Chain A
Amino acid sequence: HPLLNRWALWFFKNDRSWAWEDNLHLVTKSDTVEDFWAMYSHIQLASKLSSSCDYALFKDGIEPMREDSRNKRGGRWLVSLAKQQCHSELDRLWLETLLRLIGESFKEHSRKVRGAAINIRAKGDKTAIWTRAAENQEGVLHTGRVYKERLGLSTKMVTGSQAHADTATKSNSLAKNKFVM
């Protein structure tokens, strides 16, 4: 079953003796549903990763970094997970995120989605959907609404969208949310 896009899985493991880009590794690419599941069943669950590791699933040809020219004007919807959320909840959220991406669940806004990332951090894990344009209110809000709805996130849980241009100059936690849901 062919996917509309070919998706690349990236793995990041922070090692301070190397430059940031050197810690980012392309794992594999999937362009069918079967490839995707083969990939998913061969990698560690996100909850098993050590702190300061990331996974990212991005459309082929786009690197999961702000510096990629196609991400410069973009942004992300960020979901911060409380530390007390259990591992199974983290894995569930990440898998649901992946399924929304490969299934192109964002309908006409799917073209505006670049990919998604999960960051495992001691302070609290985070997942985010990256979008093409941070300023396109309709597109950003639609993506955020669908993301939250499909992931079954509580309506009380606050998610925020940030422009990469803002997170590049401030620490992530201080970056201003352009839209909040």
Chain B
Amino acid sequence: GTRIIYDRKFLMECRNSP
């Protein structure tokens, strides 16, 4: 299947988005 890899920066941005 497709690999879904998220880096730290992206994950932290998701935390801060409304």
Contact = CB atoms under 8 A, between A and B. Distances in A.
A binds B: yes
Interface of A: 1-4, 33-34, 37, 40, 96, 99-100, 102-105, 107, 150
Nearest to A100: B8
B4 A37 contact: no
8 contacts: A3-B4, A33-B11, A96-B8, A103-B7, A103-B11, A104-B3, A104-B6, A105-B8
Interface in B1-18: 3-8, 10-12, 14-15
A96 B14 CA distance: 15
Contacts, number: 37
A63 B18 CA distance: 33
Given A4-B3, A33-B11, A103-B6, 18 more contacts: A1-B6, A2-B4, A3-B6, A33-B6, A33-B14, A37-B15, A99-B11, A99-B12, A100-B8, A102-B6, A103-B5, A103-B10, A103-B11, A104-B4, A104-B6, A105-B7, A107-B5, A150-B8
Dominant SS among interface residues on chain B: helix
Dominant SS among interface residues on chain A: helix
Contacts of B12: 99
A4 B8 CA distance: 15
A103 B6 CA distance: 4
